């Protein structure tokens, strides 16, 4: 994690599975190193020296239930149902964030991605300027000539299966912000395809070209280009040959893939065959940060995900 931007201040991060030994180990280390202030949702007395909250006895439960009811009553949720659901650890964690009592939550060590995602959407919701919630991987490669000192943001490997041109542009804007806040680098955004500047024909390159037009209209200040093949995006020699004059080709640190399948396959191959460290996926487009853990995660994984989550919280 040393190649990511340093945290300027401690953030309050909620862990819905505060009784899990892996969470306890990671939270203790994060607190000891002064990176975050952990809040554990757990049985009273479980952690040593860390804040512990038990939803059913919390004095904030009523206020949180009212927030949930207000958000979901248009979908038929009753006050009684909101009171019951607010006592669930994932939902309670999301409501703590929504109420401003915490900066973000990290969950999923004992629940599915779908459950974590639903809790985040129902409690925190999306940003006013974002209609698409997407995922991003932070990938650290050995050769620091690539990306930003060897670190790249790759999207979307997790949520949006086949994004439209508009969704692709929104994913690119969100991922550029992640590059800026998490990696600490000015984004150079490459919209990827199997074609570079018209070398291939088909629906996918056309979609990517349209996405670039939308992106430039919505965020003209971004350094972005497409459509680019992966080698043209990250290799300076290939980029100069295939896309001469491009300010992104050969120097991209933010890779936006045309489909979930392409992004997922790419980061896993880089991780397994190239020995890269891939962290995530992290959610983009939420009003405040919330991120999911794999149920097979280690304490080290939780530590890394939490550091990135804290970095994300600085722009919310």
* Structural tokens at position 131: 């209609």
CA distance 103 to 94: 10
CA distance 140 to 155: 14
Domains of the chain, start order = 11-125+286-315 (3.40.50.10950), 134-277 (3.40.50.10750)
pLDDT at 286: 93
Q: What is the pLDDT of residues 65-93, one digit of tens each?
A: 999 999 998 888 899 999 999 999 999 99
Provide the mean pLDDT of the chain. 92
CA R_g for the chain: 20
Relative orientation angle of helices 21-32 and 299-312, to the nearest 10 degrees:
50
pLDDT at residue 6 greater than cutoff 70 = no
pLDDT at 144: 94
**Residue 212 phi, psi (nearest 5):** -65, -40
Q: What is the pLDDT of residues 218-248, one digit of tens each?
A: 999 999 999 999 999 999 999 999 999 999 9
Please compute, for residue 69, the number of CA atoms within 13 A of its CA located in the half-sphere on the CB side.
13
CA distance 175 to 118: 21
Query: With b meaning 16 or more CB within 10 Å and e meaning fewer, what string describes 252-287?
Result: bbbbbbbbbebbbebbeebbeeeebbbbbbbbbbbb
pLDDT at residue 46 greater than cutoff 90 = no
pLDDT at residue 187 greater than cutoff 80 = yes
- 44 or 79: which carries more pLDDT confidence? 79
Contact 123, 85 (CB under 8 A): no
β pairing state of 104-107 and 51-53: unpaired
């Amino acid at each position: 994690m040393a190649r990511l931007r340093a945290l300027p201040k401690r953030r309050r991060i909620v862990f819905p599975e505060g009784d899990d030994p892996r969470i306890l180990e990671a939270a203790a280390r994060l607190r000891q190193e002064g990176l975050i202030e952990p809040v554990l949702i757990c049985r009273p007395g479980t952690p040593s020296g860390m804040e512990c909250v038990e939803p059913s006895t919390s004095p904030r439960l009523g206020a949180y239930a009212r927030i949930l009811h207000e958000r979901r009553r248009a979908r038929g949720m009753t006050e009684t149902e909101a009171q019951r659901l607010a006592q669930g650890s994932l939902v309670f964690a999301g409501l703590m964030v929504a109420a401003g009592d915490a900066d973000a939550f990290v969950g999923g060590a004992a629940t599915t991605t779908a459950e974590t995602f639903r809790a985040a959407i129902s409690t925190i919701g999306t940003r006013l300027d974002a209609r698409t919630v997407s995922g991003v991987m932070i990938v650290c490669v050995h050769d620091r000539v690539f990306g930003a000192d060897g670190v790249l943001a790759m999207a979307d490997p997790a949520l949006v299966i086949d994004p439209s041109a508009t969704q692709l542009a929104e994913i690119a804007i969100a991922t550029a912000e992640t590059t800026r806040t998490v990696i600490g680098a000015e984004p150079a955004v490459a919209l990827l395809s199997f074609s570079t500047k018209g070398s291939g024909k088909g629906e996918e390159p056309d979609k990517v070209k349209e996405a670039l037009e939308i992106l430039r209209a919505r965020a003209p200040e971004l350094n972005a280009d497409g459509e680019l093949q992966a080698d043209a995006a990250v290799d300076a020699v290939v980029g100069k040959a295939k896309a001469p004059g491009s300010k992104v080709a050969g120097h991209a640190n933010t890779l936006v893939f045309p489909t979930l399948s392409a992004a997922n396959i790419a980061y896993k191959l880089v991780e397994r065959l190239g020995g890269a460290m891939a962290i995530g996926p992290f959610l983009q487009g939420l009003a405040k940060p919330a991120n999911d853990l794999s149920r097979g995660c280690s304490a080290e994984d939780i530590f890394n995900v939490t550091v990135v989550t804290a970095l994300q919280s600085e722009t919310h």
